[in-house]
Structure 1
Amino acid sequence: MIERRIKICANSSYGGVFVYNLSSQLLEQYPFEVTAIQKGRGTYICTTSEDGKIIMESFRGSKGRAEALEHILLRLKENGIEADEIIHTREGEILAQEVDETWYYARKYMEGRECETRSRDDVLAAVEELAKLHLVLQKVEDENLKIGGQDYAMEVFRHNRELKKVRNYIHGKHKKNEFEMIFMHNYETFLKQALDVEHRLMKPNPGETQGQSGQQGRETALYGICHGDFNQHNVLFAHGKIIITNFEQAHYDVLVGDLAHFLRKLMEKHNFNIGLATDMLAAYEKKRKLLPEEWEQLYVRMAYPQKFWKVANHYFNANKAWVSGRDIEKLNRVIEQEEIRQQFLRMLFYFVE
């Protein structure tokens, strides 16, 4: 029995043997013998007797979406880009069902060190690899990856409503704590930025004024399958190669959204270092040139006060009766960085005009 070979304490929930909430019924569907399991970042890392380490992860979505994810991973491999490798069950299926009816999939554990955000070489190499990934996935079409994709304009509208909701809540309080006073003092400045982005997104796209054929041509150039969560944790360096992992959030969207996501994270960490930003953009363009519409998309995504919204939203959804010092630190950090962030945006706007 497989459960006797697992070197971790189990419990008897659901009437079967579970290890860290993975049952023997699930593990026995796979062609490998598990000898140990440890908890990872939202995953289970399984040590096997023959095939090294395997990652087991719950899967949200249809079978069609799972097949689409495997398809894009295979396309990347065909084009020389190292990425995740899915392991099928004994029956040749991508997904396996747990006794609680949760679906899981297995993929090889990729050994390597994460991209070091303090290393310019690491960051620029990661950006180049992202551009190469986009060149491949720009040519991939799959309806299963369009389902559930979120339009960025709708995301901005929702965030703006949430900012107003936070403001209204705090405004109605008679006694305000330190976080709330800082928020209210800076709210109008950041709301104006948020609304400016919203209005900019409402402008018609060039393709929309050129008729259906123009819009189709624009979509072909601008859209494709995005990674969905491209950050330093999902870029590994091993044996002179770069490995891109964790494609669970892959979806059809404007490709430059991945670049904006990574650029924003790096800028926040490096106090909006304009030199690093220009080097990152140049590294991307070495492999894939950005169109004028993509520069516009990059600008609006960077111009949105994402961090201010994120801190405010966290406050609103947490225990408002007690605000942690960490939340106050984060809010103050956003405000302290605002002047240099605006300098960065002026640099970026130069490419838009």
Structure 2
Amino acid sequence: MYDYGLSILEQYGLNAESSARTRGALLCRTEKGLVIIREFGGTEKKLQKQQELLEKLSEQGCLVDCYIPNQEGALVTRDRDGIPYTIQQWYEGRECDTRSREDIFRSIRMLAQIHAKMQMPVVEFYVEPSLEDEYQRHNQELKKIRSFIRKKGAVCSFEKLYLATVESFLTAGERTLMELRESDYAGLRKEAIEQGKVCHGEYNQHNVLMLKPGTAVTNFEHWGFDVQISDLYRFMRKILEKYSWDVRIGMDMLRAYHQKKPVTISEWENLRIRFSYPEKYWKLANYYYVHKKTLVSRKNTEKLQNLVRQKENWEYFIRKCFESYPF
């Protein structure tokens, strides 16, 4: 019977009092507290750097999911079948509830706090790609998908809606790329890399745990050296999509972050540019393109319809929230 890594506990001198499957992992209660076992698919070199980052944050009082070395001091342990696993410290808590303003602002403040501490000597290999290159590539992909659908003919609802809306979203994408090139982004990125500023890489509601004594941040696997405001953008976008781009909650999130870690004019301008790019539109189009075209999911079509419905709210949010530097 497949044990999902449970058998490796003996290599840590631990015993499972109870265990339960969770999101892509196995949660175990042991004599030394709660731990999480995950199958490992990354590189051990990056994992070691991630552990250095987590230990630094932990030493400074942050609640993070540090890796636990096995009895031989290794972070990666193989079971009897040679499958690699890791074990991390875990916490009694629940994920951030996006319906709770209190949870949202706790998460924002926590992000600002860890950003202030997340600096390491830079390793060139882990520097995130340029946002300019990313936007240019995405714009080209939107055009490619447009040509593909035109050539074969729009059949399903997704394809028809894409052709009806792509010009508007592509115009926004090309305008945003131009604004990015004319902004201080290059200087902002250069400064972030020179100072070894680290981003979480996937800061969202699933990776923030609400505890009685505090707030824990988990799942740093996508960490990298980059402009840290990108983490704030990702979290805010996820929330704002759920709140139909409510300007008030957007401004409140910005202020909550700024109170803990001041946002410079260049960072604020970069945040505006990131919000101006139709990232969710590109994601839905790209998902359609790389999957079977004969099986366009109803859910994906509904997401595109909802995105188009929210377009005016999105554009209004950008105008109102970024009218002038608010701090």
Q: Give yes or no for TM over 0.5.
A: yes
- Which letter does structure 2 place at the counterpart of 1:129? M
The answer to whether residue 220 in structure 2 is matched with residue 233 in structure 1 is: no
Displacement after TM superposition at 1:104 (Å): 2.3
Pick one of 330, 344, 347 that aligns with 2:303.
Answer: 330
Aligned length: 326
- Which letter does structure 2 place at the counterpart of 1:282? R
The answer to whether residue 150 in structure 2 is matched with residue 171 in structure 1 is: yes
2:20·2:28 contact (CA, 8 Å) conserved in 1? yes
TM normalised by structure 2 equals 0.91
Displacement after TM superposition at 1:309 (Å): 1.0
Displacement after TM superposition at 1:189 (Å): 0.2
Pick one of 163, 176, 188 that aligns with 1:184.
Answer: 163
Displacement after TM superposition at 1:281 (Å): 0.3
Displacement after TM superposition at 1:258 (Å): 0.3
CA distance 1:236–1:204, shift in 2 (3 Å): closer
Aligned to 1:14: none
SS in 1 for 2:293: coil
2:202·2:220 contact (CA, 8 Å) conserved in 1? yes
CA distance 1:101–1:157, shift in 2 (3 Å): farther
2:122·2:193 contact (CA, 8 Å) conserved in 1? no
TM normalised by structure 1 equals 0.84
The answer to whether residue 272 in structure 2 is matched with residue 292 in structure 1 is: no
State the Cα RMSD in Å.
2.4
Aligned to 2:53: 72
CA distance 1:333–1:251, shift in 2 (3 Å): same
1:212-252: CA deviations, max 9, x gaps?
xx98656557x611111111111111123111111111111
1:23·1:99 contact (CA, 8 Å) conserved in 2? no
Displacement after TM superposition at 1:117 (Å): 1.0
The answer to whether residue 238 in structure 2 is matched with residue 265 in structure 1 is: yes
2:233·2:274 contact (CA, 8 Å) conserved in 1? yes
The answer to whether residue 254 in structure 2 is matched with residue 254 in structure 1 is: no
CA distance 1:230–1:207, shift in 2 (3 Å): closer
Aligned to 1:88: 69
The answer to whether residue 22 in structure 2 is matched with residue 40 in structure 1 is: yes
CA distance 1:148–1:286, shift in 2 (3 Å): closer
Displacement after TM superposition at 1:204 (Å): 6.5
SS in 1 for 2:209: strand
What is the alpha-carbon distance in structure 2 between the residues aligned to residue 215 and residue 327 of structure 1?
34
CA distance 1:58–1:156, shift in 2 (3 Å): farther
SS in 1 for 2:37: strand
What is the alpha-carbon distance in structure 2 between the residues aligned to residue 240 and residue 151 of structure 1?
38
1:34·1:47 contact (CA, 8 Å) conserved in 2? yes
What is the alpha-carbon distance in structure 1 between the residues aligned to residue 321 and residue 53 of structure 2?
31
SS in 1 for 2:197: strand
**Structure 1 residue runs without a partner (length 5+):** 1-9, 11-17, 209-213
Aligned to 1:349: 322
What is the alpha-carbon distance in structure 2 between the residues aligned to residue 104 and residue 284 of structure 1?
35
Q: Say which one has the larger Rg.
A: 1
What is the alpha-carbon distance in structure 2 between the residues aligned to residue 215 and residue 108 of structure 1?
32
Displacement after TM superposition at 1:288 (Å): 0.8
